[in-house]
Structure 1
């Protein structure tokens, strides 16, 4: 095509040469074909794009709602009645004048599709704007016990790397003999910086598995977590030590997933109270107007074979004083 164009260009500069008229026809024919294909592509995207969150033009409130409902089809609890539920919801939205008019119906439908761990959040409630987006871990060396406070986190990609690196840097040092991972009050957010930062303590095996409603499973390993944050090149194992994990009733969602990454390991003991019962896997969708859909699509299978579906994680040692008892246990393991 490039040679044809150059040839025709030269011919146009010198119109007395033979063949220019033919080449002009070829070029115009090719241009017409390209325009037809482009028109077909635009038509395809205009018709099917909204189902996948792709809009060539600002969608109507109804098209916006339909694109959200298409995603809700993947919810863990979309059973045989789901078709009727979404039909009734879309009928209610026929009179919507703005995207905001659709929010109440979509919020309700999200809970029906994904259960209590699913959320439809307005642009103002986007988790990236929450106080948890600025959280960073706390690191202390308590007389040979490395204390790691691992808080909730909803920040951006750069903040996630900073979060993970703060934990991993502490674990690379050689000035501790045991580790205490404090996940109390960690209400969740993004599990990847939490687990990535602690990954040097974890074995090279599957940490847990997501189980879809059709029974299919997808395992998550420590290397998967590091790749998610682009940190696989910094992978380095910490020395094997005794680990205590602290939990309470406010340990939820990604905080609970971080607990499950450790649960069942022979050198780990969990102290505290049952967790908040948000043990399911969520998909994150950024919507056209800045709203966010967090949809539960899977239950969780831990390394011991136990299946969780918004069930609390139980501690090994149930106590109202987990920090004190964990430190006491770790000191016993160290022979103090």
Structure 2
């Protein structure tokens, strides 16, 4: 997921209606806050053209009837996101988030749910004596310094297993439920390889941004997000096969990492379909205590394939996860079986 912060104040008086008459008896400041929210959603939401805005505005005012505080309008926001079919966005107020989730079948993978409760970190191992394993969890950032620090820590973890001697890798994204894509991709750069990884497109399908690795560092268009350079430890001279593990809790930035590996030569996906939060969000500040995060773009991989919802595995495997003993993990074992025979057919990376 990417985020951009924009002050709603820049919208000035971009209200959807004039505020002379207020039959809904909403406090002026509260109504202004609602109008700013509606204006931002109308301008930026992915599904903005699928909504009758006059009807939606009237419904929002009715739901907020008599509201004298922003607190009183909180039930409006899940309704707004539902009408826009935005299950990735949210309204934040005083440190809490209010969004909408579509009805889903209950997620039944107890091993994944239990492991996520433990707040897992990066884990690197050597399996079968010649294959690397790296677990990439959720990563949160507040600054470019955070990107650099976390990406470097991930790189350092890879170096501890002497990667030049290994013949392939398992990248485990099963416990990656989001955060920021930047330190994950920058840290994994020696395994992924330079070149175009993916991009964002607007609702019409027009490309808006691309992300790529260049010289071991991550760029989104021309903005450089890391300054690590090539690997600081010896790496294999040729690209190696990579197996990617997914779960139904691989989400958001975790899905960006998965998408970044789609289309890579010598790469295969194992496990469950991902969660399905494959949109890019932009953040908009409404006040010192409130803001909107809106899904504004969809994601494509290096081949141009558009991801409307989930990232799918090449080899579906339900259950059998064992995060304590990887040798007994069904998905790890399937990945190892493939890695023993896998080869990478080189392709010229896009600049």
Normalized against structure 1, the TM-score is what?
0.71
Q: 1:179 aligns with which of 169, 173, 177?
A: 169
Q: Deviation digits for residues 232-279 of structure 1, max 9, x if unmatched?
A: 432226532121110121112221111010011112111112112222
How far apart, CA to CA, are the structure 2 residues paired with 1:316 and 1:108?
36
Greater share of helix: 1
Aligned-pair CA distance for 1:150: 0.9
How far apart, CA to CA, are the structure 2 residues paired with 1:257 and 1:183?
11
Q: Deviation digits for residues 217-239 of structure 1, max 9, x if unmatched?
A: 12422249735696543222653
**1:78 matched to which residue of 2?**
48
* Distance 1:298-1:222 versus aligned 2 partners, 3 A rule: same
Q: 2:36 aligns with which of 64, 67, 79?
A: 67
Q: 1:319 aligns with which of 288, 309, 317?
A: 317
* Distance 1:71-1:235 versus aligned 2 partners, 3 A rule: farther
**1:299 matched to which residue of 2?**
298
Q: Verify the 8 A CA contact 2:200 2:207 in the aligned structure 1.
A: yes
**1:212 matched to which residue of 2?**
202
- Secondary structure at the counterpart of residue 88 of structure 1: helix
Q: Deviation digits for residues 20-45 of structure 1, max 9, x if unmatched?
A: xxxxxxxxxxxxxxxxxxxxxxxxx9
Q: Deviation digits for residues 274-314 of structure 1, max 9, x if unmatched?
A: 1122222222334424334221112222223322212x222
**2:84 matched to which residue of 1?**
113
How far apart, CA to CA, are the structure 1 residues paired with 2:156 and 2:12?
44
Which of 217-226 and 77-86 deviates more?
217-226
Q: Verify the 8 A CA contact 2:280 2:296 in the aligned structure 1.
A: yes
* Distance 1:47-1:192 versus aligned 2 partners, 3 A rule: closer
How far apart, CA to CA, are the structure 2 residues paired with 1:70 and 1:125?
22
**1:150 matched to which residue of 2?**
136
* Distance 1:140-1:230 versus aligned 2 partners, 3 A rule: farther
Aligned-pair CA distance for 1:166: 1.9
Q: Verify the 8 A CA contact 1:66 1:90 in the aligned structure 2.
A: no
Moved over 6 A (4+): none
- RMSD of aligned Cα (Å): 3.2
* Distance 1:48-1:242 versus aligned 2 partners, 3 A rule: closer
Q: 1:331 aligns with which of 325, 330, 340?
A: 340
Which structure's CA Rg is the greater one?
Answer: 1
How far apart, CA to CA, are the structure 2 residues paired with 1:264 and 1:200?
17
Q: 1:201 aligns with which of 191, 208, 213?
A: 191
Q: Does 1:141 align with 2:141?
A: no
- Secondary structure at the counterpart of residue 179 of structure 2: coil
Q: Verify the 8 A CA contact 1:62 1:94 in the aligned structure 2.
A: no
**2:105 matched to which residue of 1?**
none
Q: Does 1:233 align with 2:214?
A: no
Aligned-pair CA distance for 1:76: 0.8
Query: Which structure 2 segments of 5+ residues have no match?
Result: 1-7, 16-27, 99-115, 319-329, 344-351
* Distance 1:200-1:241 versus aligned 2 partners, 3 A rule: same
- Secondary structure at the counterpart of residue 180 of structure 1: strand
* Distance 1:261-1:101 versus aligned 2 partners, 3 A rule: same
* Distance 1:84-1:180 versus aligned 2 partners, 3 A rule: same
Aligned-pair CA distance for 1:47: 8.8
Q: Verify the 8 A CA contact 2:269 2:315 in the aligned structure 1.
A: yes
**1:162 matched to which residue of 2?**
149
**2:61 matched to which residue of 1?**
91
Q: Verify the 8 A CA contact 2:196 2:213 in the aligned structure 1.
A: no
